[in-house]
Structure 1
Amino acid sequence: MAEATPELKTYHGNCHCGAFKFTLKVPEITSVMGCNCSICFRKDYKWVFPGPGGFTIDKGEGTLKDYEFGPKSMAHQFCPTCGTGVMGKRHGQPAGMDIGINAQTITDLHIPSLGINIYDGKALEPAYIPHPFKGPEPIAEIENAKIYTGSCHCGNVTLALKTKGPLTEGHEFIQGCNCSICSRNGTILIYPLATQVSIHASTPTTPYTFGRALQSHEFCPICGLSIYIRKLSVSPEHFAKWITDGRDQGEWEKRMPVDLRNFEGVEWDKMKIPVANNKDIEPKYEV
């Protein structure tokens, strides 16, 4: 007796700015694939493979930008406006079997409640070689400092972070976030003073601002990696309208949130990273 065809469920998704929208018609998504390779870890990709006929572009066909590296077996596609990594297209695969979707871009899909199948992409050859830091040391004066260096995936942007010691000692505030942009980008942010960070970009980062317009999310225009959050110069009235928890504007402006996923040598296995519940902060995100 033939097995019954699984019932299909309709899902919708989009990059953050809404320039690219899509529909999936697939069996209910109960699990996703996680990968620890150099780019999937940086973007915290969670993959869904819709299969033949399961993926439809509703808006923005041809607008995503390709990024390829290594053996160039897959084009990683991201929105050039907001930086959202949306999908991957595998070369040499049959039509419909060549597409992987970043599940973080699917509307109302609660990733933490899903099963995660781990793929050891880090073990594949050729191994990813980290890019050396190309800029000056951060200017903060810290005795017995520890410096972490890193880069976006393509090496266009390199970074250095100066701290009082290993991050495991708790000198810096670090957290994940479930807001509309951080969940899509998979960022884990560290919040040092701007003087503790040095960023060197051969091609300038691309700014993306939305919502409260207090800051811009800066990403690499070549590989789409989220780099840091730049505080914008806003009036005290504008600041007070959106920041109502008593924070001082001057102190707030001195901080430079940076995506910790881009740094080498971070002691991930020795740290527990909290996740802030910011998805409902006003104004609420709408596509």
Structure 2
Amino acid sequence: MVYTGSCHCGRVRYEAEGEVDSGLACNCSICARRASLLWFVPRDKFRLLTPEADAATYMFHKHVIRHRFCPTCGIHPYGEGTAPDGKPMAAVNLRTLENFDVDSVPVTHFDGRSK
């Protein structure tokens, strides 16, 4: 299935392909503050529909995840990084998907604060 999503104002829009079978809630310093619910997909299953330059990037701690957000409305639709197997991945914020019920998937809690 192909899902579409965006930030609040629509400046950053994307498509992600796959089956959403769960969401990940992390308690690290940034995830806890923005309350995102993440779904991980291979980077080649994620496509930005707006210009790359429309999404700002924030990096912190080990500088391995590119946290992407809209500089206009501030919403975080996705992040980019590398999966444990070394392959590029995208971390889609399920709360930014269009017509998707986040309560329809189980949530796994990850202790990112201790990492």
Alignment TM class, shorter chain as reference: 0.7 to 0.9
1:204 Cα offset (Å) = 1.9
> How many residues in Structure 1 have an aligned counterpart in Structure 2?
113
Q: Which has the larger radius of gyration?
A: 1
1:267 Cα offset (Å) = 3.1
What do residues 92-138 of structure 1 show as CA deviations (whole Å, max 9, x unaligned)? xxxxxxxxxxxxxxxxxxxxxxxxxxxxxxxxxxxxxxxxxxxxxxx
Q: Say yes or no: does 1:223 pair with 2:78.
A: no
2:14 matched residue in structure 1 = 159
Q: Which runs of 5+ in 2 are unaligned?
A: none
The RMSD of aligned alpha carbons is 1.8
In structure 2, C-alpha distance between the alignment counterparts of 1:270 and 1:259, rounded to whole Å = 15
Superposed counterparts of 1:44-83, under 5 Å? none
Which structure has more relative contact order (CA 8 Å, sep 6+)? It is 2
- Structure ranking higher in strand proportion: 2
Q: Taking every aligned residue pair, what percent have the same amino acid on both sides?
A: 29
- 8 Å contact 2:23–2:105 — kept in the other structure? no
Q: Runs of 4+ in structure 1 displaced over 3 angstroms? A: none
AA at the equivalent of 2:61: G
What do residues 17-73 of structure 1 show as CA deviations (whole Å, max 9, x unaligned)? xxxxxxxxxxxxxxxxxxxxxxxxxxxxxxxxxxxxxxxxxxxxxxxxxxxxxxxxx
1:267 matched residue in structure 2 = 101
1:198 Cα offset (Å) = 1.1
1:185 matched residue in structure 2 = 34
Paired residue secondary structure (1:275)? strand
What do residues 174-229 of structure 1 show as CA deviations (whole Å, max 9, x unaligned)? 20111100011111111001111111235521111111111221110000001221
Q: Which runs of 5+ in 1 are unaligned?
A: 1-145, 233-246, 282-287
Q: 1:279 to 1:266 in 2, by over 3 A?
A: same
- 8 Å contact 2:23–2:106 — kept in the other structure? no
TM-score after normalising by structure 1: 0.37
In structure 2, C-alpha distance between the alignment counterparts of 1:188 and 1:268, rounded to whole Å = 8
